[in-house]
Every structure is written in structure tokens, then in C-alpha cells.
Amino acid sequence: MWSSSLSFASPRSQCGRCDHPRPKYNGGYASVRTNLSAMLSNAKYAGCDVCWILSEGIVKFLSDESCGITRDDVDELRIDFNLTATKRSLEVALLGTPVKMFFYASEPTPWLTEHLPDLPVGAAVPSSTSSEESLGWAIQQLEICKRSHRACNSFSPAPLPSRVLDVFAKGECGVRLHVSQGETAPYTALSHCWGRKPFLRTLSGSLDAHRSGIPWARLPTTFQGAVEFTRKLGIRYLWIDSLCIIQDDQHDWCREATKMVSVYQNATLAISAAKSEGAYGGLYAEFPPKNRTHTVEFCPEQHDDHCSSSFSPSSQPEYAEREELAHKRKTEQIHLRLALSHPHRLLSPYHAPTISLPIFSRGWILQERFLSPRILHFGPEELTFECLETSTCQCTPSFPSPRATASAATLTPPTWYDHMLDRTARPKHYYSLTTWLEEEEEEPGKRRMSDSDLQTVWRRLVEDYTHLCLTYDKDIFPAILGMARLMQRARGQHEGSSNRYVAGLWEDALLRGDLLWHVELPLQSHVRLGNGSNGGGDSGGAGGTNTSGAWAGGWACRPARWRAPSWSWASVRAPVRFVGGEEGVEAECELVEVVCEPEGEDNMGELREGGSWLVLKGRLVPAVLRLRDGTGDKENLQPWNMVDLDVLNGGHLKNLWVDDDCKWLVGDVGRATVYCLVVGRKLPRKELLCLLLAPVPAEENSMARDQALHEDGHLYRRIGMVEVFGWPPHPVPWGWLHSFLGKGEDAVVRIV
């Protein structure tokens, strides 16, 4: 029997082991590092309720052989509060292991609300995602959405896609490819990883046969599951990319790719095979035994009685009576299990998993997920439902609006925090045209999102996108084409804004932050938006589950074939991050011209090599770039510490990011002449922001070079970015800046 020498009836100071008592939930997140031994000791000798509850739960979990680790493997812990940004959450990471535990209660009792304000309300998970219980849950979420979500039902009825699968077809097969004739009907759309194993596709030679019927045995497991689930919903038609697009007909693929917006936007439901790495991974999953729930029972009143005085059963005759009375008192139940694989991101990237589910490594999933009004993810443990107004899963209730959470907080969060909350808690809502065009309730006709907000949203979308993987480098723009079209429409609603799309960026935002991106070293391994080593084709070539680090070993690199000009984030195969202050960027150069020639008819799709350039007029400062000593070990390469610029030596505080390893530039001598083009100043502190440029060899880019003869005669390639946020002392205010700029001259430069 647990006992302690202290009573918690009186106020107590914050526990250094578990960080309790904590303030009432206000939407923020926090973490505390501790260890299990200290918590056990604190529970026993200092009388901390929460230390006892958490440590008891951890010990119970470790005593279960199915968990795969023992008490000897674990001591260091990290307790995370509200990291999901979606609601209250309390998770404990067992450091040194891959285990993260989720604590929850079945109901929010007064005692738990007071003593564990971050503890969420949770629920038991059905035994299988194919069970009748799971089907009922999915139908319930779909009906709630159809009945009460205005945004999700704001789309007008639209014709079926060009081809769909008829899952109630007559005949022995029961499934056939239907060529639509402009009729309107409900349909579902499958989103899945293709994987490396070949599977059934529609080719020019099999089109007629598939229209007659597709034998059930020839459908891969994931497709069979999608057909079965669509039938259970009572929906006749299903769209699957590999069967509804002729895969060996480039013209058909290009035509259908441009319709991707309408395919997913008009689907009644998108079905996400989230757990499967390939077409044979299946749709459904059984709840894993290792995820079983453990329960800690705790009686606060009994605890307080025991704390009021020292006693033992032998010295207290009334002990048995007191025990019987305690069982009649309110017993708090706190449950715990392994944290499940949720698609919702964490607020803190330091605590984010590599990739929670295979499908979220796919480049194409981004627009499939965000274009559809509703999507149902079939995960390895449970179902998750996302729509334009809510996100929910079987283990937890619907997520509240982050804006509602923020309004309940004692302090009004800044705009950037509001962006972060919505982006993490309700990404489908944050990245939807409905939200982008939403009007203020108090001022009808006034958009809730300003032009500046939309610029921020697009940059965040690109940041998320560049963490994903494409099998074919050339798909970099097609795989985000649908989202670009929606953003173009939203930006066109703002008076005075240009909605011209150029190489993944926006013309009128180039000098306001769009050009100011840098390669980001993932805090943990991430996938690269380039050739996937473990994935097969996707919708026209996207897919794969490459989880190798973007920097370790192979470093960030350029695509094998040109796909974008160097000033575009699409020119590198690595995650990127945009640099921009809360108040934006003050331009320090002039946009003269930007040209992007498409490869085909769609000016937002693939680009033609040699047909894209950017002309800027500004201050160009020469510098010598040197590789730092010891950077030859690719395992230790970092984008910010591998090179030096002589022009910024002598006390300048800076971030200097390079886009690749620069070996092609410096050669054997380890140095090269480069140029800093001053682009702008980050507000409000006015940090200096420059593009780092290198001259392009004379034999390259003949078309652009002919144009460059009208300027300084040189072509440049972007190789990185510089942010100067500190400088050496100078007797004259901003004297360092005048000194820096004085080393250069005004120039008109053409960047390819």
C-alpha cells in the first residue's frame, strides 16, 4: 500500500519532477525532463500525487512483456504537455527507446481537472478498423459532417471524373471501369502509396477489358478494401488513380492531372490507406496487442487519510474499517497506452516523429488530403476523420477550434501563433479555399485572411510539402498544382495583388519573402522531395516512403535533371524553410523581370529547361566563399556551418545557409568568388537578408545569356542565403551596414 508523510490538503509548490501543479489549460505546450527513479522517490517521500500516478502507470506498462522493454532499459523521461496543439494532452516519452505513452481519462472529474489540468479525455479503440463498430463510427462522422458543416457542403454538385470504378457492376466480376458521360453521382476517391511491387493498372491495351470487368483476384489488397468500404457506404463509384488514368498514355495523364482539383474536391469522401506502404498493404488493421490499455486507480481521500499520520496495519485496530471505507470513496481512474499514430502534427518540431504513417511521406498526399472536403485515414490502430471544420479519431473526441482555445486563454496569442495552431490542429481547415475566402462575421465582405496571411499560408504549405517524397523529380509542380490553383483563386480576390504563379512562388511576393528560403536540416530523419528509394510510382509517378535523412550521407542535392530555376525552392531536393519576421520583409532591391516558360500547355505545371530566369536590380557585394576545415565528413555537414564569407568576418552574427555542398563550386582549392545580393530587411529588427549567388560558366544557359548581355553580361545561380542579425561595434549608427554595402555596387543581375 502506498503511503506518504505529507498531506496535499494545503497548497504546495510546483514539483520539480512532474511540473505539477500546472496552470489551467490555455492552449500552450510545455515539456519537462525527469527520470523514473526520481519520480518514484518523490512519490514515496515527498508525497506527489502526480509523480505517483505517472510512475505507477509507467511501471505497469513496463511489466507487460508485450511492450518489448523492461525497467532496466528505462530511467530518463520527458513529459510533454499539450504538444498536439489540438487539445489537452499528456504524453511521456521513454528516452533512449522509441516508446511514447499517452495518458488519458474516460471522464473529466473535478479532482482530475484540478490536479491534472492537461489530462485529455480519451476512449477505448475498437479491435479492428474493419469492425462494425469502426464502420458505424465512420458513418456517424460522415453524417455529422453532411448535416452540420456548412463549409464541407458548400460545393455544387459536379459531374463524375472521366473514369470511375463501378463497384456495384453486374456480372461475375462486380467491378468494372465506367467511362462517365457527364452524369452527377456520389463517389469516393482512394489515396494510397503505390510501393515497389507491381500491381494492376489501366494501360492502353487493357482499357477495353477493364470496361467489361475487372476480376476480383487481380485487384491488390488495398483496392479490394476500398471497394468493400465504398459498398458499405452505399456509394456506387470509386476513383483510383492507377485504374482511372491510362498509365502509359502521357497525353491522358497530363489531361487528367489538370483535373485533380475537381476529382478530390468533388468526392464525397477520400479514403486514405494511411498505414500501407504499397498497394498490397491492405486498408484495414487489427488493434495491436502492444497498444493495450493499462489503468492506474488512485483514491485521493484515502491518500489524504494516509498522509495525515504515520500508521501501520499492526498498530491501528481500525485499519480494516478504514480500508473498506476507502473503497467506497471516489476512485480516480487514469488510463495509459502507447501513443497511437495520428496524422496531426506536433507544435514542437523537436518532439515530432520522423513520419507517423507511410502515406504522409508521399508528395501527392498533400493535395489529395487538402483538396477533398472529407478524408478518412485507415491507420495501423484506428480511424481518423478530417474535414474542413474538424479533425477527430476513434481514441479521442473532436478537436476544438484553435481560435476558440485561444480566445479562452488569458492572453491573446500573436498572429503567428494562431497560424501555427490552425496549421497543426486542423490542417485541412487551414489549407482550404473555404478558409482562405472566409469573411469576417462583423464585417461582411472583408476577408478574414489578408494578402499577407495568404503569403504566409503558402510558405507554410511549401515547407510541409518539401518534407515529402516524390518518385519522379519532374512531378514537383504537378503534385502541388491543385493547391496552387486554389491559392491563385484566393489571391485574386484581394485588390492590388498579383496572382501570377512563378516556379512555386508568387510574383508580387518575391521581394516580400518568397525568395528568402533556405535549406533546413531536419531535426530528425525526414524524407526528401525527390527520388524515393523505397517507393514505386504514384499518381502519375509520385509515391514512396523514403525515410533516409535529407542531409546525412548524401547531403541535400540538386535533382538529377533540371526541374526549376535556382531561385525556386523546387531547385533542391531537401526540406526548406522561409525566413520572415512577424511584420514581413522590407524590400531593398527591385524586381525587373521574371520569366517561367512551361514545358506543356499548363503554365503552372512542369517548366522548360533554360526558359526560366529572374532579373533583380540591387546592391551586389563580392565575397570569397571558403569551405570550413573538417567539413569533408558528409555525416557532419550542416547547411549553416560549412562555409565562411570573408566579407562577413570580424564579429558579424549571421546565419549562412548553402543549398548544396558547394563542391562543384570551390573545386580542389576550397574557395570561390561569390556575390551577396541585398534583397531586403526583416522587420521589425531590420536584419539584413541577402541571396548568395555564384557566376554561371559561360557555356551554360545560352538563351538566358543572350538576354544577360543587356545587363552586366553575367548569369548567376543562387547557391544559398545570408541573414545578418548582429554586427561589430561601430561609432556611427548602422556604420557596419554602410561599410558592407560600400564594398559592392549597384547592378542588374539575371539569376537562372
**Domain ranges, ordered by start, for the chain:** 30-126+288-348, 136-284+356-400, 452-751
Alpha-carbon distances, residue 119 vs 24, 90, 112, 157, 475 (angstroms): 11, 6, 8, 43, 43
Spatial distance between the Cα atoms of 537 and 248, rounded to a whole number of angstroms: 12
The pLDDT of residue 549: 33
pLDDT at residue 324 greater than cutoff 60: no
The pLDDT of residue 361: 86
* Neighbouring C-beta atoms of residue 636, cutoff 10 Å: 12
Q: Which residue has the cell 498522509?
A: 307
Given pLDDT bands bounded at 50, 70 and 90, which one contains residue 667? confident
The pLDDT of residue 315: 37
The pLDDT of residue 748: 94
Given pLDDT bands bounded at 50, 70 and 90, which one contains residue 344? low
Q: How is 666-693 classified by DSSP, letter by letter?
A: HGGGTEEEEEEEEEEEETTTTEEEEEEE
Q: Pull the grid cell for residue 676.
A: 551577396
Given pLDDT bands bounded at 50, 70 and 90, which one contains residue 317? very low
Backbone phi and psi for residue 387, each to the nearest 5 degrees, phi listed first = -140, -170
- Most confident by average pLDDT, 145-159, 352-366, 414-428, 641-655: 145-159
pLDDT at residue 635 greater than cutoff 80: no
The pLDDT of residue 698: 76
pLDDT at residue 408 greater than cutoff 50: no
The pLDDT of residue 348: 53
The pLDDT of residue 526: 38
Q: Which residue has the cell 498490397?
A: 280
pLDDT at residue 690 greater than cutoff 70: yes
Q: Which residue has the cell 519520480?
A: 39
Nearest CA-CA partner of 488 in 497, 479, 496: 497
Least confident residue range of 202-216, 585-599, 714-728: 714-728
Given pLDDT bands bounded at 50, 70 and 90, which one contains residue 401? very low
The more confidently predicted of residues 526 and 345 is 345
Average predicted confidence (pLDDT) for the chain: 81
The more confidently predicted of residues 66 and 193 is 193
Spatial distance between the Cα atoms of 190 and 226, rounded to a whole number of angstroms: 7
Q: How is 620-649 classified by DSSP, letter by letter?
A: EEEEEEEEPTTTT-GGG--TTTSEEEGGGT
* Neighbouring C-beta atoms of residue 226, cutoff 10 Å: 27
pLDDT by residue (tens digit) across 246-260? Answer: 999 989 988 888 888
Spatial distance between the Cα atoms of 258 and 256, rounded to a whole number of angstroms: 5
The pLDDT of residue 8: 34
The pLDDT of residue 346: 53
pLDDT at residue 47 greater than cutoff 90: no
Given pLDDT bands bounded at 50, 70 and 90, which one contains residue 448? confident
Given pLDDT bands bounded at 50, 70 and 90, which one contains residue 9? very low
Least confident residue range of 9-18, 206-215, 512-521: 9-18
The more confidently predicted of residues 440 and 540 is 440
Q: Is 292 helix (H, G, I), strand (E, B) or coil?
A: coil
CB 514 within 8 A of CB 505: yes
Non-local (6+) Cβ contacts of 208 within 8 A are none
Given pLDDT bands bounded at 50, 70 and 90, which one contains residue 227? very high
Q: Find the helix or strand (DSSP H, E) in which 294 lies.
A: strand 294-298
pTM: 0.83
pLDDT at residue 198 greater than cutoff 80: yes
The more confidently predicted of residues 321 and 354 is 321
Question: Taking residues 738-751, what's their average pLDDT?
Answer: 91
Backbone phi and psi for residue 371, each to the nearest 5 degrees, phi listed first = -80, -35
CB 15 within 8 A of CB 50: yes
- On the CB side of 384, CA atoms within 13 Å amount to 20
Q: Pull the grid cell for residue 292.
A: 493495450
pLDDT at residue 328 greater than cutoff 60: no
- Most confident by average pLDDT, 538-542, 606-610, 654-658: 606-610
Burial 329-358 (b: 16+ CB within 10 A, else e): eeebebbbbbbbbbbbbbbeeebbeebbbb
- Most confident by average pLDDT, 472-486, 521-535, 555-569: 472-486
Spatial distance between the Cα atoms of 752 and 323, rounded to a whole number of angstroms: 80
pLDDT at residue 200 greater than cutoff 60: yes
pLDDT by residue (tens digit) across 240-249? Answer: 999 999 999 9
Question: Taking residues 378-401, what's their average pLDDT?
Answer: 83
Write the single-letter amino acid at 297.
E
pLDDT by residue (tens digit) across 519-537? Answer: 986 544 333 344 333 333 3
Q: How is 556-621 classified by DSSP, letter by letter?
A: SB--SS--S-TTSGGGSBS-EEE--BTTBEEE-SEEEEEEEEESSS-TTS-EEEEEEEEEEEEEEE
The pLDDT of residue 168: 94
The more confidently predicted of residues 495 and 650 is 650
Least confident residue range of 302-311, 394-403, 532-541, 575-584: 532-541
Given pLDDT bands bounded at 50, 70 and 90, which one contains residue 21? confident
Question: Taking residues 378-388, what's their average pLDDT?
Answer: 93
pLDDT by residue (tens digit) across 105-163? Answer: 988 889 998 888 889 899 989 999 999 999 999 999 999 999 999 888 877 788 999 99
- Bridge pairing between strands 294-298 and 332-338: antiparallel
Spatial distance between the Cα atoms of 748 and 733, rounded to a whole number of angstroms: 28
Spatial distance between the Cα atoms of 534 and 135, rounded to a whole number of angstroms: 32
Q: Find the helix or strand (DSSP H, E) in which 295 lies.
A: strand 294-298
Distance of CA 20 to the CA centre of its chain: 31
Q: Is 249 helix (H, G, I), strand (E, B) or coil?
A: coil
Nearest CA-CA partner of 537 in 242, 98, 244: 242
Nearest CA-CA partner of 605 in 257, 253, 248, 261: 257
